[in-house]
Structure 1
């Protein structure tokens, strides 16, 4: 019972960490990358779909993303969807290709983005601590039902704390790396 509980908790903590890293990937630095546009939704004949389902997204250079819709009538809709997104980007179409230049980040905008990533990091830490709390309550219930001994419970509690500490440290490392990326000019 204890090994299954540890394994399940570790898998959930890993998912929380992966979710944080995915969220951090969406926060833009001064460099362009195609993942920035992943959550942009485009009106495709009456239904909202992800931009990746209606266009090919590539990097033209370090500060420019190229978006090429697969259908010519979609160029204006894709351009409007990028402009209306909360990313603060200003796309320009050149025939069938839409160029999306990445503006340089100001110092103030960098500070705002750091606040955003720290908030995301804190949410990830809370999720990891909640998983620890759930595991501890399962262990205490098992002890009350006499399914495990007090020694096993104590060892399992120590293991859960070490696991939690390890994942919180991973979150801190991911945040530090992203903050360093944001502050690099």
Structure 2
């Protein structure tokens, strides 16, 4: 017989995963059913264990009813009980596998979302830090430029004051020259 190739990954959700909390999976060395690929529960909390308990109870109950009703257990009773237990087992297995796989997918999605959230928080913190740094740098540049402009304004005010003072001095001198010319004219006409 050809040996089946065993998957190498033993992470949860893969066929090679063995739940260390479950004595059945650990004892067998492989997951007994597909839903065990996604399970981390102890055996007593397992849907399979519940199925076994309920099935055993139903079989015993059916045998007891058949025994009380007919006084014996016939082959037809055994066949009917066997078919009912298999049908119950099939539908139980299918529904629990779907629930467990959906739960596993939801858990994986939650983990991925948490990682994405952490990643985004880190990126936001980095970007915030970068923006704060840029804001600080820009604030320093604005302060430096404001200081430069204040110094230039002060210089311009000095130049303006000097020019205005010079202009006023020129007006005074022109007025003096005009008065002196008038006095000179008066002195020439009087002399």
TM-score by length of 1: 0.30
Larger Rg: 2
Structure with bigger helix share is 2
Structure with bigger strand share is 1
Name which structure has the greater RCO, CA cutoff 8 Å, separation 6+: 1
